[in-house]
Chain A
C-alpha cells in the first residue's frame, strides 16, 4: 500500500465539500444545515493542511489559517444557533421553509 498522496486527500476534501453542499441544499432542518456548513468548512481546513504539508512543508501558513477558520467556525456556530433559537421562538419549528416571512 503506497503512501497517501496529496491527490487522495484532495479527493477526500472534495467529497466532503460536495456532501456538505448537498446537505445544505436539501435538508430542511436548520440544525442539519448548520452541520453541513461545518462539513464544508472542514473540507476547506483539510485542503489547507494538505497543501501546507505537501507543497510548503517549511511554512506554517496553512496551519494558521486552519486554526483561524476553526475559531471563526465556532463563533459562527454560536451566532447561527442563536438565530435558529430565535426563529424557533417565532415559528415553533426549525424547518427552513417556515422562515420565509420576508419573501415577495
Chain B
C-alpha cells in the first residue's frame, strides 16, 4: 500500500493540464493511505507492545555497480517515517484545499499545483528513504521544488532573488551533507540506515575502521557535516537567512514548506541518525543543542521587531525549529535521557499543525488586507471571525498555554532540557516567554489595536503591495465591502487545523516514538510547568498592554532600547554580514584572481596556440605553389634523404 502511495505521487506532477481538484484528490488519496499505513503500523505495534519493528516493504536495486556495490531504492517504515508520512500528507492535503481558494485567480494555477505535487512527492520520498543516498537525492529534490515554489511569482525581482538565496544557502549546507554522507558510507561500507547504525555501533568494527582527524574521530566529522546539511535545510543559525526571504512565495507555500514540512527535514535527519549521534558523538550533540537554543533565542528577538506578518511567522518558525533541534541536542540514548528525542518529534508534529494554521490564517488576512505590513492591519476580529478564532488558538498553542497542543510538546522539550543541560534550559525558557510575547503582539496588532477602516487613510509608511498587484491602499475600502473572509475552501483547512491543534496534545506520544523504538512514559510534572506557563502568560500580558489598543507605548519602549531594537529589526545585520563576506571578500579575493587566471593564463594559452598555428601556416603557405613538379622534387629529395639516413643508420 505504501507502493501505491509512492506511485500515485510519482505520476502526480504529470497531471499538469488538470489543476487543483486533481491535486486535492490525489493528496486526499495519499493522506488516506498514509493514515491507513499509520493505523496498520501502530495497530500491529500495539499487539507487541515492547517494540516497533522497522519494516522495509519495498526494496529494489536501482543502480547496480557490480559485485557488492549497488544503490537501492525503497520504502522504509518505522515510527519516525510513519509520523512524517502522516504530517506531510495531512498538511499537504489541507494546503492543497486552501490553495484552491487562495490561488483561484492565478493564471498559472496548474504549474503551481504540479510544483506542490512534486514537493510532496520528494518530501515523502525523503521520509521513507531506507538508505542515506536516497535520502540525499530526495533532499535535493525537496530543495529544487522549494526553489520553484518560492520563485513562483518570478516576475517579482525580490521573489526570484529570494529563491536564489534559498537555493544557494541550502546548497552550501547540502555540500556538507553530501560529504558527510560519503564519509559515513565509506566508513561503514553501506548506505542502508539500519546496517550502518548496526555496524558503526559495533565497538569492534568502529575501532578497526575509524581513524581520527584533528582530534575528532572520522565518524564525528561525518556526523557534523551531516548536521551542517540539517542546519541549512532547517534554517538554523548562521544559515537561517534564507527562510524569511523565502516568504516571497505564495502564502500556502510558506505554510507547507517553510513551516510544516521542509524545514523540519533537518530535524528529521537528526532524528533518523540519532542512534549514531547518541553513542558516537555526544559532544557534538551538546553543540547541536547550543546551536539550536541560540538560534531559537536570536530568532525570537528578531521576531519581536519585524513588521511583516509573514516574516514574524518565519522567525517564529526558526525559533520553534531551534526548539526541536536543541531538544534532540539534549537527548541521550537510554530510557530516561531520550526524552528530548521524543519531545522533539512531538513538537515537530504539533508545530507542523499550528504553524501551518497560522500561515494559512496569515494568507487569509493578506488576501483580505492586501498587505503584509502589520501597520496596515488592526481590528480585524469582527471582519474575519473564523480566521480570528483559529489564529487565537494557534497563538495560544505556540505560546504553550495549557491545554493546547503546543503546551505538551514544549513542556516535554523544556523538561528534557532541564534534565540535560541547564544553560539550554534557561535560554529555552526565556525564548518560550518571548515566543508568547511576539505571537500575541502579532495577534493584537492584527485583530485588535485599532478600527480597521481607519487604517487605509492613515499613513503608516509604505505598505508592501502584495503579490496580487491590485492592492492599492486608496481603493481598498470599496473592495472590502464585498470582500469576504475567503472561500469555503480557505476556511475549511483552518477549522480542521484548529480542531487538531486543540486535541492533539492528548495523544500519548511517548508510547509511540522513542529513540530505541520502544515505549517511553511521558510524565508531566505540574510544578515544573508553572514557570514556562507563567512566563507565557507574562508575555501575553505585556503584549496586551502594548498592543491591544492603539497607543504609543510600544514605540516609546522601542526608542528607549534604540540600539538593540534597531539591531534586532535589521536581523542583527547578519544579512549584511553575508553580503559583506560574499561581495567584498569572496568576490574580490577569490573571484577576481580566479577570473584573472582564467582570462590570462587559460584563455591566453588557448589563444596562443591558435595564433602560433596561423602564424606558421601563413609563413609556409607559399610552398603550395600548385606546381606538380615542385611537389615531386620535394618528394624525391625527401625520399633520398630518408634513404641516406637509413643507409647511414644501418650500415
| Interfacial residues, chain A to chain B (CB-CB below 8 A) | 21, 24-26, 28, 33, 96-97, 99-104
B629 contacts A103, C-beta separation under 8 Å:
no
A101 contacts B626, C-beta separation under 8 Å:
yes
The CA-CA distance from A25 to B629 in the complex, in Å, is: 6
Select A104's contact among B624, B633, B636, beta carbons within 8 Å: B624
CB distance from A88 to the nearest CB of B (A): 15
CB distance from B427 to the nearest CB of A (A): 84
B625 contacts A104, C-beta separation under 8 Å:
yes
B625 contacts A25, C-beta separation under 8 Å:
no
Question: Is B64 interfacial (CB 8 A cutoff)?
Answer: no
B626 contacts A103, C-beta separation under 8 Å:
yes
Chain A residues with Cβ below 8 Å from B632 are: 24-25
A104 contacts B629, C-beta separation under 8 Å:
no
The chain A residue sitting closest to B622, CB to CB, is A104
Select A103's contact among B625, B633, B636, beta carbons within 8 Å: B625
Question: Is B621 interfacial (CB 8 A cutoff)?
Answer: yes
The CA-CA distance from A95 to B625 in the complex, in Å, is: 15
B627 contacts A97, C-beta separation under 8 Å:
yes
Chain B residues with Cβ below 8 Å from A101 are: 626
The chain B residue sitting closest to A30, CB to CB, is B628
The chain B residue sitting closest to A99, CB to CB, is B628
The CA-CA distance from A24 to B636 in the complex, in Å, is: 11
Number of interface residues of B (CB under 8 A): 11
Contact bitstring B614-651, A, C-beta under 8 A = 1, else 0: 00000001101111110011001000000000000000
A96 contacts B626, C-beta separation under 8 Å:
no
Closest 5 CB pairs of A and B: A103-B626, A100-B626, A104-B624, A104-B621, A103-B625
Main secondary structure of the interface of B (DSSP, over half): helix
Given contacts A104-B621, A104-B622, 15 further A-B contacts (CB under 8 A): A24-B629, A24-B632, A25-B629, A25-B632, A25-B633, A25-B636, A28-B629, A96-B628, A99-B628, A100-B625, A100-B626, A101-B626, A103-B624, A103-B626, A104-B626
The CA-CA distance from A102 to B624 in the complex, in Å, is: 9
| Interfacial residues, chain B to chain A (CB-CB below 8 A) | 621-622, 624-629, 632-633, 636
The CA-CA distance from A25 to B209 in the complex, in Å, is: 79
Chain A residues with Cβ below 8 Å from B626 are: 99-104
A96 contacts B625, C-beta separation under 8 Å:
no
Chain B residues with Cβ below 8 Å from A103 are: 624-627
CB distance from B639 to the nearest CB of A (A): 10
The chain A residue sitting closest to B623, CB to CB, is A104
27 sampled A-B residue pairs with Cβ under 8 A:
A21-B636, A24-B629, A25-B629, A25-B632, A25-B636, A26-B629, A28-B629, A33-B629, A96-B627, A96-B628, A96-B629, A97-B627, A99-B626, A99-B628, A100-B625, A100-B626, A100-B627, A101-B626, A102-B626, A103-B624, A103-B625, A103-B627, A104-B621, A104-B622, A104-B624, A104-B625, A104-B626
CB distance from B622 to the nearest CB of A (A): 7
The CA-CA distance from A33 to B621 in the complex, in Å, is: 26
CB distance from B395 to the nearest CB of A (A): 87
- Indicate the member of B622, B626, B636 with the most A CB atoms within 10 Å: B626
The CA-CA distance from A99 to B622 in the complex, in Å, is: 17
CB distance from A68 to the nearest CB of B (A): 21
CB distance from B8 to the nearest CB of A (A): 70
The chain B residue sitting closest to A28, CB to CB, is B629
Chain A residues with Cβ below 8 Å from B629 are: 24-26, 28, 33, 96
CB distance from A99 to the nearest CB of B (A): 7
CB distance from A2 to the nearest CB of B (A): 28
CB distance from B339 to the nearest CB of A (A): 89
Chain B residues with Cβ below 8 Å from A104 are: 621-622, 624-626
The chain A residue sitting closest to B636, CB to CB, is A21
Chain B residues with Cβ below 8 Å from A28 are: 629
CB distance from A43 to the nearest CB of B (A): 14
- Indicate the member of B622, B624, B629 with the most A CB atoms within 10 Å: B629
CB distance from A33 to the nearest CB of B (A): 8
The CA-CA distance from A104 to B629 in the complex, in Å, is: 16
The chain A residue sitting closest to B625, CB to CB, is A103
Chain A residues with Cβ below 8 Å from B622 are: 104
The CA-CA distance from A25 to B626 in the complex, in Å, is: 14
Chain B residues with Cβ below 8 Å from A33 are: 629
CB distance from A76 to the nearest CB of B (A): 15
The chain B residue sitting closest to A97, CB to CB, is B627
CB distance from B620 to the nearest CB of A (A): 10
Chain A residues with Cβ below 8 Å from B624 are: 103-104
The CA-CA distance from A24 to B621 in the complex, in Å, is: 24
The CA-CA distance from A103 to B636 in the complex, in Å, is: 20
The chain A residue sitting closest to B620, CB to CB, is A104
Chain B residues with Cβ below 8 Å from A99 are: 626, 628
CB distance from A12 to the nearest CB of B (A): 20
